[in-house]
Amino acid sequence: MTSVTDTASSLDQEHHHGPAKGLMRWVLTTNHKDIGSMYLWFSFIMFLTGGAMAMIIRAELFQPGLQIVEPAFFNQMTTMHGLIMVFGAVMPAFVGLANWMIPMMIGAPDMAMPRMNNWSFWILPFAAVMLVSTLFMEGGGPNFGWTFYAPLSTDYSPPSTTFFIFAIHMLGVSSIMGAINIIATILNLRAPGMTMMKMPMFVWTWLITAYLLIAVMPVLAGAVTMMLMDIHFGTSFFNAGGGGDPVLFQHIFWFFGHPEVYIMILPSFGIVSAIIPAFARKPLFGYTSMVYATASIAFLSFIVWAHHMFTVGIPLIGELFFMYATMLIAVPTGVKIFNWVTTMFRGSMTFETPMLFSTAFVVLFTIGGFSGLMLSIAPADFQYHDTYFVVAHFHYVLVPGAIFAIFAACYYWLPKWTGYMYDETLAKVHFWMSFIGMNLTFFPMHFVGLAGMPRRIPDYALQFANFNEMSSIGGFMFGTTQLLFLFIVIKCIRGGAKVEAKPWEGAEGLEWNVPSPAPYHTFTTPPDVK
């Protein structure tokens, strides 16, 4: 059983298995590792861009009153921060990890459709340019929040909204192709003996995430298309004067939006499910239940969307249905938390940086989950809605959830990618600074939120001043620490202590069978999995 890795046209360089040289290596590549690296770097650049916007937001909110930016620009910052972090930072980071790791984890020679893989990536920089360029257009960039509710995003939106819509279309095309590629890879390219129920959890969670992506990105495309038609072609989908309904927009958006937030967390579950067993030196507790819990969460994500809309005026029966359905999600999520804790129980644990981030993930994601449970109670949500409590909630699930898991994954697999161990001391500094900074930023938001501070406002009442000052200090701390992360990664790429194929004592999986750094082509002949 062999595998061909060269085209007919390049048979003359049959024995050339290394990467091509120069810039064109990256532009023309079909190699899953090259593409994975590009996704990760792109995501980090976007993370810093979106982060810089968050710094502007926190600087303005450092004190009550208007100091630094105009309210109109503040709105553009909150909007772009959200959009860039969701579509530019978190999602591409996970796709990058999927590209790097899934073929190695299942013993495949590459992704199933390597050229389309390249296209999925190279759409992103163009989409990002289009999205960010809206800030420099006449009338400013999108200013209606990352959820772009109509009619703010239709009747009252700046002209740059048209380009925002097309940027979303491009991001959607990229995501759908990426997801199709991942599904085809997992279903079709597993090594002999790698049955579905032997796949690493990261592969499982990505398989389910990819289904979510294919199911909801087209719905988002439908939503922005109707926006586009309302803006330019006189239709009235979201205009009650013509028989449409602005609330319809929210339904369509959140039908996409709620699965979308699981798209940003399910791969994290997979990462943490790989790292905790490795550093507890015990197999993952309840693998099968993890798989079914992930699938249940994915299923439930389709029937809870209107819990984002409790205060908009939906019928009582709808409020009740979406309240109970939302609460149900706590069950499979609880199964997962239980399994991670039980995996740690009586393990011989050590706390290298990936484990630190993963442990923090379990604790802090649970906090975010519980505030989500509070928000799911429809009558209580009337108080919490559109306050900083909501901001605190979703930052607790996204920062120590998605972002910490991405950091954990980077530290865990960096030795495999570069062949060198990262600087453990600096990495621990990065962890603790992130941990403290993140909690300092977002924990006080619970309090100001419960006390009634509205979100998306550049000014606030005096009694919120102290907590906001704390949040801003924490935010600056978290933000600057990420430059340290950049330094650690570059240092690790340039050298350090050489590592063996398996640098982590308790790590499991096919990726640790190949040398570190992983050769340019791995598993051109599928391995036999017992």
Choosing from 32, 58, 190, 336, which is the catalytic residue? 336
Residue 153 structure tokens? 């995003």
CB nearer to another protein: pick between 126 and 345: 126
Choosing from 32, 58, 258, 395, which is the catalytic residue? 258
Query: Is 230 marked active-site?
Result: no
CB nearer to another protein: pick between 165 and 438: 165
Choosing from 122, 262, 504, 512, which is the catalytic residue? 262
3-state secondary structure of 279: helix
Query: Is 521 marked active-site?
Result: no
CB nearer to another protein: pick between 102 and 438: 102
Using a 10 angstrom Cβ sphere, with 0-12 exposed, 13-18 middle and 19 or more buried, the burial of residue 89 is buried
- Nearest approach, Cβ of residue 502 and another protein (Å): 24
3-state secondary structure of 161: helix
Phi-psi region of 201 (alpha: psi -120 to 50; beta: other; left: phi over 0): alpha
Token pair 């062949």 is found at 419
- Nearest approach, Cβ of residue 518 and another protein (Å): 15
Residue 325 structure tokens? 């359905």
Query: Is 430 marked active-site?
Result: no
Choosing from 5, 41, 119, 146, which is the catalytic residue? 146
Choosing from 154, 333, 359, 387, which is the catalytic residue? 333
Choosing from 32, 33, 58, 81, which is the catalytic residue? 81
CB nearer to another protein: pick between 245 and 469: 245
Query: Is 146 marked active-site?
Result: yes
Query: Is 393 marked active-site?
Result: no
- Nearest approach, Cβ of residue 441 and another protein (Å): 35
**In whole angstroms, what is the distance from residue 393 CA to residue 364 CA?**
10
Query: Is 169 marked active-site?
Result: no
Choosing from 37, 39, 58, 110, which is the catalytic residue? 110
Any idea how long the chain is? Answer: 530
- Nearest approach, Cβ of residue 99 and another protein (Å): 14
CB nearer to another protein: pick between 246 and 452: 246
From the centroid of its chain, how far is CA 477? 21
**In whole angstroms, what is the distance from residue 414 CA to residue 139 CA?**
43
From the centroid of its chain, how far is CA 342? 26
Query: Is 232 marked active-site?
Result: no
Query: Is 175 marked active-site?
Result: yes
- Nearest approach, Cβ of residue 247 and another protein (Å): 8
Query: Is 110 marked active-site?
Result: yes
**In whole angstroms, what is the distance from residue 429 CA to residue 422 CA?**
13
Query: Is 336 marked active-site?
Result: yes
Cis, bond preceding 159 (omega within 30 deg of 0): no
CB nearer to another protein: pick between 127 and 271: 127
Query: Is 262 marked active-site?
Result: yes
- Nearest approach, Cβ of residue 516 and another protein (Å): 22
Q: What share of the chain is helix, strand, coil (3-state, %, to 5)?
A: 70, 0, 30
**In whole angstroms, what is the distance from residue 384 CA to residue 404 CA?**
26
- Nearest approach, Cβ of residue 2 and another protein (Å): 6
CB nearer to another protein: pick between 54 and 165: 165
**In whole angstroms, what is the distance from residue 39 CA to residue 58 CA?**
28
Give the other-Cβ count within 10 Å of 432's Cβ: 13
Catalogue the active-site residues.
Answer: 81, 110, 146, 174-175, 258, 260, 262, 273, 307-308, 333, 336, 455
